[in-house]
Amino acid sequence: MLSATPNGAPRWLRMEPRPDEIATRRFPWRLLGADRGEVRQVLLEVAAALDRSRTAHTRELLERRALRKSLEETSARIQELQRQLNAAKAKLMVMETAGTAALEVLRSARAAAQAIRRSVDPSG
């Protein structure tokens, strides 16, 4: 019988077995037992599945990092655009205030010009 770890798992199934370790694992030969070819085939399939799983996991980690970086860049861009929008709104308010003041000056100037014309030409 294979020696076991405290949790009952075979020692060769320690924390992180590598696919190549699984695929090349040798077992003691017994007169009665599993078919060696079938065991070898199962181990090769398990090793391949583990390798695919680790590859997919690594790819997902890389994608997650890329997405996180993209999110950070997009968030920074949104903040910059928000700052620009607020600055543009402030400029617009100043321009609207200046426009209103200019309109009032123009109205006053027209009224004053009309008053001056009346004073010079009382008939018109």
The model scores a pTM over 0.85: no
Q: How many other C-beta atoms are found inside a 10 Å radius of the C-beta of residue 92?
A: 10
**Sign, CA torsion 43/48/49/55:** positive
- pLDDT at residue 113 greater than cutoff 70: yes
* pLDDT of amino acid 6: 56
What is the rounded distance in angstroms from the CA atom of residue 84 to the CA atom of residue 86?
5
Mean pLDDT is highest, among 3-7, 15-19, 27-31, 60-64, for 60-64
- Calculate the average pLDDT of the chain: 85
What is the rounded distance in angstroms from the CA atom of residue 111 to the CA atom of residue 119?
12
Amino acid at 94: V
The whole-number average pLDDT for the span 34-38 is 81
- Give domain limits for the chain: 11-120
**CA neighbours closer than 13 Å in the CB half-sphere of residue 40:** 7
DSSP secondary structure letters along 75-117: HHHHHHHHHHHHHHHHHHHHHHHHHHHHHHHHHHHHHHHHHHH
Is 22 exposed, middle or buried, given 0-12, 13-18 or 19+ CB atoms closer than 10 A? buried
Residue 62 is inside which H or E element, if any? helix 36-120
Q: How many other C-beta atoms are found inside a 10 Å radius of the C-beta of residue 40?
A: 16
